[in-house]
Structure 1
């Protein structure tokens, strides 16, 4: 299964590891699961899950959309190599999105640009991921600043919400910085 937020060409070819901003925003605003793209439960007592890195916890939001706590979170933690520990470092050479354009004039890949974030992360260790589960009533989009613009949708808020459960899902030893960041 290709996660709902993954960038893909009009032909359907996916660029794993690259999220499509419009798909991410649709999930964040529409309360859709970032894996399957279906609505998160709105029923009382329903739950959603977030995959969090220590940096997400520090800044108070997750830039990744929420997942269905029961099945999509389990699937993602099993198959994603960055989360399940099979990859310990980001790719040494960042993907060149401009070179990956397909030439189809109706594909939105002609709008793709390379990200400074991908260049900064190239070759660095992938941080540990925690799976946090929350009650549906706590879901709030997070609006903040990005690239000099204020009041931009940037993720799901962690501020003022208490997780029902949190567990480490990346199977590796944590550094003292990882532990300090998570606390």
Structure 2
């Protein structure tokens, strides 16, 4: 289980990030999967929307932990073809009411980018290897950590996930062109 993922009553809440652990991972250069310090090889998990924004919103990972994430994360391994329609933490982080009065339930706010992704097809993902010298935090005007700066020298890029929808759209476009009725010879000048 990723170190920055919310746990509630001993159960993992996939898609929900523990804000305190996320911040600690960024500030102390910890791997988001194992929580151990990052060393000489660092990978950033990057989507096209992150490239456009210039920031990777998730903490970096070790090369070994990247392999684990590729196997187990439904967004990276292709098991989740779409982002969830409702916020992960709609009313409660576990998606159901908590009946434990002593439970320190985590933050129940909706992630800022949820509406942009709700129900949308999953994105393509790449892993960018950077050197520790290029590990730079980006912060917002209010001092909140936005993520890791993507305006850095990338040592290596690996394709992690390519969504089949793009391939399907290309194939459907070709089929439409093939199946389109031929132009009427009478209408051709």
* Bin of the TM-score, shorter chain as denominator length: 0.7 to 0.9
Q: Confirm or deny: 8 A CA contact 1:3 1:36 kept in the other structure.
A: yes
Give the superposed CA RMSD: 2.2
> What do residues 33-89 of structure 1 show as CA deviations (whole Å, max 9, x unaligned)?
000011111xxxx110011001111111111000002x0011101211111112111
> Taking structure 2 as the reference length, what is the TM-score of the superposition?
0.77
1:14 is matched with 12
Q: 1:162 aligns with which of 153, 168, 172?
A: 153
> Taking structure 1 as the reference length, what is the TM-score of the superposition?
0.80
Structure 2 unmatched runs, 5+: 168-189
Does 2:109 match 1:109? no
> How far is 1:114 from its partner?
3.1
> What do residues 116-174 of structure 1 show as CA deviations (whole Å, max 9, x unaligned)?
533442211111000111111211111124xxxx3321111112x11111121114357
> How far is 1:101 from its partner?
4.6
User: How many Å separate the matches in 1 of 2:113 and 2:103?
Assistant: 24
1:31 is matched with 29
> What do residues 95-118 of structure 1 show as CA deviations (whole Å, max 9, x unaligned)?
343243524344332642234533
C-alpha change, 1:111 and 1:170, in structure 2 (3 Å) is: closer
Kindly tell me the number of residue pairs found equivalent between the two proteins: 164
Q: Which secondary structure does the structure 2 equivalent of 1:18 belong to?
A: strand
C-alpha change, 1:26 and 1:116, in structure 2 (3 Å) is: closer
C-alpha change, 1:104 and 1:119, in structure 2 (3 Å) is: farther
Structure 1 unmatched runs, 5+: 177-183
Q: Which has the larger radius of gyration?
A: 2
